Amino acid sequence: MKSTSPPPNPPPEPPERIKLPPGIPEDSGQLDRILKKDGDLARRWKGFQPRGAQLRMFQETLRAFRQSDTAVIEAGTGTGKTLAYLLPAVISRKKTVISTGLRNLQDQISGKDLQFIREHFDIDFTSAVLKGRDNYVCLRRFASVMRKEKRAGSDPELETVFRTLAEWRQKTGTGEISEIPAKILKKPPFSLLASSRATCLGKSCALNSQCFIQLARAKAASADLILVNHHLLMSDLALKDSGEAKGSLLPEWDAAILDEAHLLEQVAINSFSQRLSLKELQDVCFELSKLLDTLLVAEARAGAGAASQRVRAILDLKASADTQQEVAVRMSLLFQKAPGAEDQSYGELIWPPEKPERRGLKGTLAKLRKDLEELESGSADAFPKDDEEFKPVSMRLKAASETAGFLSGASHPNYVYTVSVSDGSVELAALPIDVSGYLRDKLFNFTKTVVLTSATMASRKSLSYFNGRLGIDPGVKGLVLDSPFDFWSRTVMYVPKSMPAFDRQNKNELFREALVDEMKKLLKVTRGRALILFTSYSQLNAVHERFSRMRLPFRLLKQGEGGESRTSLLDAFREEESSVLMATSSFWQGVDVPGQSLSAVIIDKLPFPVPSDPVYQARADILKKQHRDGFSELSLPEMEIKLKQGLGRLIRSATDWGLLAILDSRITQKYGPSVLQSLSHGPSTNDVETVRKFFEKMEPRRRTSPAGAGPMPGDGGRRG
């Protein structure tokens, strides 16, 4: 008789999903049970950690959704804010736009947070991700590039590229250009695959029914939650305001959640600006000239001679296109020789209405607009109406002429007119000084739910400055919720006893030498593992150059060095624990490196706005004319918010710990102590020995530096 094994035990049934109501009840307090200690989520998921700040944010977001109101919530790192705002959006059944400032948060919400809700909660909803146009491949351009496959000949490298693209086309479900290897997109013609508004043919495109952008928008139109970024949201508002309803990027929505809301104002300024790139103008005139050459070749093949009326018309158009190309080149050269251009990057208020050069430039731009309009109009008659090669050029010419018209028109009091030169490229622009009125009318008008959140919006624990900049009603007080992380026992704040005054006149040499000395002492204690944030590229380059001459026991990474992208630099910083990353600008926010690879954040100088920034100058001038204090009303809150962003890079999880350092003595003077008091940090010290003892307490002393490296310069041969 055969013995039989007992049947295997069936896998345990997963806990029943948490039921959610179909809509927010009048008494929404009954939903608190979801996030409370020993509540629904705690019983179902062992990893849940109840946080008072998360529950409070959940309650305020529910209120805003129920009352179709505006809510402003600063939520410190570790609050769990995405769950606190996603659950009300799902429960409300309102069509909700969720807008983020950075792509990695958008990917986290779509790939992780919404999946978590589907897994743990019993409620059905649909979601879609909608990105900006240039995130998608243009099928018309793709087809044009693929037609060149036969011309690749026997080039193995090109054959591999075409094969990769063909395979991508078969597999892609979204058409996102990020799915194509970056190395392919670096070289023409493959660099031209991304869609752009200037070259999109819209409904007249033969591939419109298959268009990836149209498919993404159709999916968004039927979704309950639509994930976008701030740029797309602001562009949609601008299009609808201009009366281009048919050009709307988003479907009508009932509620919006704006995460990373501290980025919103700058995105709005960029979206509502008028910009004319002389390099792009030069390029489009060159493209038109080439297309006219093809028409001449076609006429010659058809037997038309030089005396032909059509040939003469085409030759006139070509001469005009070449002339406009030369005009763009001459204007570029003129600005590149302007004062400050030797730095290859500058921006200044060059044309306020009362200055003669402003009047002269207005005249030049007015003529440019007229010439471009005539060129586009004449060219439109020369090409067939359905010519796919000419249409994108025509649209770009129209856009350039309209911008030239705006820049040459009457000076708008809410715009500042600038010219900037960067790496030889010249751009003329009109930038809005204040977007608060526009956003108040179009976004915060109390007819829809709008929830704004970020870890860095408040100044001195108040949201009034932030609300004022965005045009949010003063009656919206908002919430400021502290991080649940234990900053007091897990961080130490270092400020030097004294530092030389920062002085632009003497090239900052005394300040810079003291800066290097302080950084060297701190890095010896931390054994590298630091993010050093600078307020200017010149300071970054000068300090990096000094450190590069030293024999350092860790790898030194620098923003912009060797063409490394931001992502690759952060990957190297994470992987090599003892490394030091020196950066400025974009690295003050969006850097998320939990663990010991980032054990110190060192800031060279208080990040006040750059005095030469055109928009800042214009705002300061307005306050001055109103006999108001531009420093306390503008500079100080801007600095404090930026400082919070930089210091916030250190503690990204409950187990993180480390050093926060501000190497600017102004933080101990006048306004400084109140700013310092508003920041999340541990005990303050001006003694490096105290920092050393803190590190010894938080981790065992190592006999050698990381990776067996040698001593720090000036260490007298001792190991750190």
Task: Please give the pLDDT value at position 153.
Answer: 60
Q: Tell me the pLDDT band of 684, cut-offs 50, 70 and 90.
A: very high
Q: What is the pLDDT of residue 38?
A: 86
pLDDT in tens, 400-440: 999 999 988 888 889 988 888 777 788 889 999 999 999 99
At residue 363 the predicted structure's pLDDT band, cuts being 50, 70 and 90, is confident
Instruction: Find the range with the poorest average confidence among 230-244, 513-527, 665-679.
Output: 230-244
Whether residue 660 is predicted with pLDDT greater than 90 in this model: the reply is: yes
Q: Which amino acid is at 130?
A: L
How much is the average pLDDT of 325-343? 69
Which residues, 6+ apart, have CB-to-CB distance to 610 below 8 Å? 536, 616
Cα(409)–Cα(298) distance, integer angstroms: 40
Q: Has residue 177 got a pLDDT over 70?
A: yes
Query: Cβ–Cβ contacts within 10 Å for residue 549, how many?
Result: 8
**Terminus-to-terminus CA distance in the chain, angstroms?**
73
Q: Which two tokens stand for residue 298?
A: 């076609």
Predicted pLDDT at 217: 93
Identify the pLDDT of residue 355: 55
Q: Which of 173-182, 249-258, 335-344 has the lowest mean pLDDT?
A: 335-344
Q: pLDDT band for 337, please (50, 70, 90 cuts).
A: low
Q: What average pLDDT is seen over the chain?
A: 86
Given this model, what pLDDT does residue 426 score? 84
pLDDT single digits (tens) 646-655: 999 999 999 9
The pLDDT score that the predictor gives to residue 709 is 39
- Asked whether the beta carbons of 93 and 22 are under 8 A apart, the reply is yes
Domains and CATH numbers, the chain: 46-126+223-272+435-484 (3.40.50.300), 135-222 (no CATH), 274-432 (no CATH), 487-708 (3.40.50.300)
CB atoms within 10 A of CB 175: 21
Give dist(CA 580, CA 558) in Å, integer. Answer: 8
107 pLDDT higher than 50: yes
| pLDDT (mean) for 212-221 | 93
Residue 507 has pLDDT above 90, yes or no: no
60 vs 134, residue with greater confidence: 60
**Closest C-alpha among 73, 29, 484 to residue 39:** 29
CA distance 719 to 56: 49
CA distances from 511 to 270, 394, 664 (A): 34, 54, 9
Say what the pLDDT of residue 242 is: 67
Res 479: pLDDT: 96
- At residue 705, does pLDDT exceed 50? no
Compute the Cα dihedral for 571, 572, 576, 580 and give only its sign. negative
Categorize the per-residue pLDDT at 344 as very low, low, confident or very high, splitting at 50, 70 and 90. very low
What pLDDT is attached to residue 366? Answer: 87
- Report how far residue 124's alpha carbon sits from residue 105's, in angstroms, rounded to the nearest whole number: 23
As given in the structure block, the two tokens for residue 695 are 């590190």
Structure tokens at 393: 């050029």
Report H helices in 529-683.
Answer: 537-548, 566-575, 614-625, 630, 636-647, 672-677
CA 628, CA 643: separation in Å to the nearest integer? 24
What is the secondary structure of 69-109 as a DSSP string? -EEEEEE-TTS-HHHHHHHHHHHHT--EEEEESSHHHHHHI
92: nearest Cα among 51, 43, 45, 31: 31
Question: How high is the pLDDT of residue 268?
Answer: 95
Work out the pLDDT band at 338, boundaries 50, 70, 90.
low
Q: Report DSSP letters for 134-169, one per residue.
A: GGBB-HHHHHHHHTTGGGGTT-HHHHHHHHHHHHHH
CA atoms within 13 A on the CB side of 395: 13
* pLDDT at position 83: 96
CA dihedral 515, 520, 522, 523 (to 10 degrees): 130
Q: What percent of the chain has pLDDT over 70?
A: 89
Residue 718, φ and ψ in degrees, nearest 5: -80, 150
| Residue-wise pLDDT tens digits, 113-154 | 999 999 999 999 999 999 988 899 999 889 888 887 666 566
Predicted pLDDT at 411: 81
Residues 546 and 542: their CA atoms lie apart, in Å, by 7
- Residue pLDDT, tens place only, 617-630: 899 999 999 999 99
Are 669 and 481 in contact by the 8 Å Cβ rule? The answer is: no
Count of beta carbons in the 10 Å neighbourhood of residue 511: 22
Pick the range with the lowest mean pLDDT from 71-75, 262-266, 351-355: 351-355
Evaluate whether 390 touches 375 at the Cβ level (below 8 Å). no
- Determine the residue type at 521: K
Residue 442 region, left (φ>0) first, then alpha (ψ -120 to 50), else beta?
Answer: alpha
CB 580 within 8 A of CB 530: yes
CA–CA dist 507, 191 (Å, integer): 41
Find the radius of gyration of the CA atoms of the chain: 29
The single residue listed with the structure tokens 């649940």 is 484
- pLDDT tens, position by position, 26-48: 888 889 999 998 889 988 888 88
**pLDDT level of residue 708 (50, 70, 90 thresholds):** very low
Q: How many helical (H) and strand (E) elements, i.e. helices and strands, does the chain have?
A: 26, 20
pLDDT surpassing 80 at residue 346:
no
455 or 248, which is more confident: 455
Q: Which of 164-173, 346-355, 461-470 has the lowest mean pLDDT?
A: 346-355
Of 335, 334, 317, the residue nearest 393 (C-alpha): 317
Cβ atoms within 10 A of the Cβ of 616, count?
19
Measured distance CA(412)–CA(406) in Å, rounded: 9
Query: What is the distance between the alpha carbons of residues 630 and 540, in angstroms, rounded to a whole number?
Result: 28
Q: CA–CA separation, 664 vs 460, rounded Å?
A: 19
Q: What is the mean pLDDT of residues 337-350?
A: 46
